[in-house]
């Protein structure tokens, strides 16, 4: 269900009630009193991500609300889902109640209502003792909406997708937990918090330490989420340097500064998450003024910010002859595709940059950076100082000192003026969370996929299942499409497009079959994976793409029947744990290794006899 418009009846009713002179009695709710210290127990924080119109959140609420006691704070984060009619307006009412320091009593009263409708919001406001005139003014205010949206985006960036979800001093919990499990997690968190207090002092931030210990890759996103919820009241965090990682330089790195310096700082940025680009700008202020320093930006693209990601990746070849990267890092605001274009325009490099945007290697570069991030468990906002993970954000105290210490250590290790070799040795010895460089699964029964359209006539059979909207699919196709014509190690490349939410009728698969019948399969795959193409798939699209008469394209389109191909792909997906597109089978073995061209070529060129699984099974 789409998000419904905000409940104007609620606003009007609040305004009428406020003007009537009726003042409800203030109802104190002892169960959600302000947290206080109790004996020597360290404080605990329970962060609850809820949708006030979600039945799962409503059922789980009493268990979480009962946790609030002296020394335990239950903090609410609202994540209204579009499938629930009252979710948005109820969340706005809760944020408006927060402005009166009555958020928890309001939510408790609303959760006690049998059905969260407009009248229930009014009754909850009265029970919570809200000033209804102020609530009426705040409910639909721009500030409340902005606060809720910022908080929601921060929670999504942290990785919360469903309600209810909870963090108990940094330890994650999802769904409706049984009472015993919840109490067990609370006891464990209390034990750990007491230990932190004993080891680090009474002011130890046990909640953040829990994240740092167990999920250091999301420390930056956690801080962003917590700051959005608490604003200026959030305490200043002090970051720590973690282990050294094998973050080797990559083709397409977006870097500026001295490439043989003693300080090499890397930050992973997602242009769709503006807080991460702000982190990069702050990091530039700390790094670039230093002599012999280099700052590298690794771009993490997603479907929300893919255009901006490609725009940033295309800058890599402009960085050495212009100041584009430095200008972008010091510019205010988010890094949209237009922001990048403006920085390029100022540098007078727009025509060359436009040509780079059309290069297939761009998708390979971007996916290579995403693959390295996956191996390092890095996310948007992750910072590496000479390969060591910074457990925090760029704004955390101690980063400047940590950079100075790492630079000093590298200078002491270096024997000559160039530190590049020493830095490479440091990285090569770092941790890598997945050392399996060529990972092929056991042989699978995928013979049905051999009827998918193909290119090439000899060599290992390779099956590529794509999602036309996926950056990774474009990268895989770019790496594999030249291989059928490879004189030394050719392959037979089968290509399929599994229908999904954006293609429920299997039109992409129909296009592939039509292209194969016209002996133009490669061009059709290129067209499907063209990020700039917005035309609907059909015979006119095919005719324009291939430069054919409309009648010829229509005949090929009409003759193509994707039903059998789609059924075979779905059957394989049911029996093999394939994950998301792109899916690659090499000689009937699922390729699980990194999507990097050198390793993918190595895998496809390996001597892998095709197993006769079906014949063997039929014989049995």
pLDDT, tens digit (0-9, with 9 covering 90-100), for 529-585: 886 777 889 999 999 999 999 999 999 999 999 888 888 888 887 777 666 668 889
At 46, phi and psi to the nearest 5? -110, 115
Alpha-carbon span 153 to 228, nearest angstrom: 9
The CATH class that applies to domain 244-428 reads: alpha beta
Triad 324, 392, 272: Cα angle to 5°:
45
Distance CA 328, CA 354 (A): 17
Least Cα distance to 605 among 587, 588, 584, 590 occurs for 587
Residue 282 CA to residue 265 CA, distance in Å, equals 12
What confidence tens digit (pLDDT) does each residue in 334-351 have? 777 788 888 788 777 888
Closest CA to 585 of 610, 607, 615, 618: 610
Q: Which of 313-322, 391-400, 443-452 has the lowest mean pLDDT?
A: 313-322
Going by pLDDT thresholds of 50, 70 and 90, the confidence category of residue 91 is very high
Give the confidence band of 451 by pLDDT, cuts at 50, 70, 90: confident
- 23 pLDDT higher than 50: no
CB 540 within 8 A of CB 480: no
The band of 1, judged by pLDDT with boundaries at 50, 70 and 90, is: very low
How much is the pTM? Answer: 0.54
Is residue 358 within 8 A of residue 529, CB to CB? The reply is: no
Mean pLDDT for 400-423 is 83
Which residues lie closer than 8 Å to 238 by C-beta, 6 or more apart? 392, 396, 397, 398
Domains 244-428 and 440-619 share a fold: yes
Query: Looking at the domain that runs over 8-204, which CATH code has it been given?
Result: 3.40.30.10
Residue 434 predicted with pLDDT over 70: no
Can you state the angle between helices 8-19 and 118-127, rounded to 10 degrees? Answer: 40
Q: Structural domain boundaries of the chain? A: 8-204, 244-428, 440-619
Q: What is the rounded average pLDDT of the residues 120-141?
A: 91
CATH number assigned to the domain with residue range 440-619, chosen from the 4 options 3.40.50.10470, 3.40.30.10, 3.60.10.10, 3.30.70.260:
3.40.30.10
């Amino acid at each position: 269900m789409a998000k419904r418009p905000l409940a104007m009846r609620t606003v009007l009713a609040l305004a009428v009630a406020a003007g009537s002179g009726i003042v409800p009695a203030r109802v104190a709710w002892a169960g959600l009193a302000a947290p206080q210290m109790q004996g020597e127990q360290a404080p605990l924080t329970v962060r609850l991500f809820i949708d006030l119109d979600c039945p799962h959140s409503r059922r789980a609420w009493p268990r979480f609300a009962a946790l609030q006691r002296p020394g335990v704070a239950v903090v609410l984060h609202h994540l209204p889902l579009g499938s629930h009619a009252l979710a948005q307006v109820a969340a706005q009412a809760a944020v408006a109640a927060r402005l009166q320091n009555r958020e928890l009593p309001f939510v408790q009263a609303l959760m006690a209502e049998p059905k969260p409708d407009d009248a229930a919001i009014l009754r909850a406001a009265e029970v919570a003792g809200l000033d209804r005139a102020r609530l009426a003014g705040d409910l639909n205010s721009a500030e409340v909406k902005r606060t809720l949206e910022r908080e929601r985006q921060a929670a999504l960036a942290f990785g919360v997708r469903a309600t209810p979800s909870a963090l108990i001093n940094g330890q994650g919990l999802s769904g409706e937990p049984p009472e015993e499990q919840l109490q067990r997690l609370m006891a464990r968190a209390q034990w750990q918090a007491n230990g932190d207090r004993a080891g680090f002092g009474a002011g130890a931030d046990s909640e953040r330490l829990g994240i740092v210990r167990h999920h250091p890759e999301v420390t930056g996103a956690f801080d962003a989420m917590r700051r959005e919820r608490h604003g200026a009241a959030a305490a200043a965090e002090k970051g720590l340097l973690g282990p050294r990682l094998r973050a080797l330089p990559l083709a397409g790195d977006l870097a500026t500064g001295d490439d043989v310096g003693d300080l090499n700082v890397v930050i992973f940025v997602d242009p769709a998450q503006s807080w991460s680009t702000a982190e990069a700008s702050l990091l530039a202020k700390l790094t670039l003024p230093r002599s012999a320093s280099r700052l590298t930006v690794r771009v993490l693209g997603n479907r929300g910010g893919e255009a901006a990601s490609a725009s940033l990746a295309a800058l890599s070849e402009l960085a050495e002859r212009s100041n584009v990267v430095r200008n972008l890092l010091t510019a205010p605001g988010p890094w949209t595709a237009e922001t990048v274009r403006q920085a390029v325009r100022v540098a007078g490099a727009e025509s060359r940059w436009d040509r780079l945007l059309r290069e297939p290697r761009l998708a390979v570069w971007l996916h290579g950076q995403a693959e390295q991030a996956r191996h390092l468990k890095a996310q948007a906002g992750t910072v590496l100082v000479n390969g060591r993970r910074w457990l925090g954000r760029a704004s955390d105290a101690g980063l400047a000192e940590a950079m100075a210490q790492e630079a000093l250590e590298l200078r002491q290790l270096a024997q000559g003026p160039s530190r590049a070799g020493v830095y490479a040795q440091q990285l090569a010895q770092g941790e890598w969370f997945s050392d399996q460089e060529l990972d092929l699964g056991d042989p699978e029964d995928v013979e049905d996929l051999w009827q998918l359209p193909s290119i090439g006539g000899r060599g290992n059979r390779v099956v590529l299942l794509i999602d036309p909207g996926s950056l990774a699919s474009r990268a895989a196709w770019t790496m594999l499409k030249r291989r059928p014509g490879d004189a030394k190690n050719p392959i037979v490349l089968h290509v399929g497009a599994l229908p999904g939410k954006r293609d429920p009728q299997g039109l992409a698969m129909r296009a592939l079959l039509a292209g194969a019948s016209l002996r133009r399969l490669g061009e059709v795959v290129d067209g499907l994976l063209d990020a700039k193409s917005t035309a609907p798939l059909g015979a006119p699209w095919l005719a324009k793409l291939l430069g054919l008469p409309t009648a010829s394209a229509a005949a090929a389109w009409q003759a193509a029947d994707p039903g059998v191909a789609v059924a075979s792909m779905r059957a394989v997906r049911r029996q093999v744990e394939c994950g998301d597109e792109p899916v690659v089978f090499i000689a009937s073995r699922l390729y699980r290794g990194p999507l990097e061209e050198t390793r993918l070529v190595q895998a496809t060129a390996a001597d892998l006899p095709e197993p006769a699984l079906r014949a063997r099974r039929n014989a049995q």
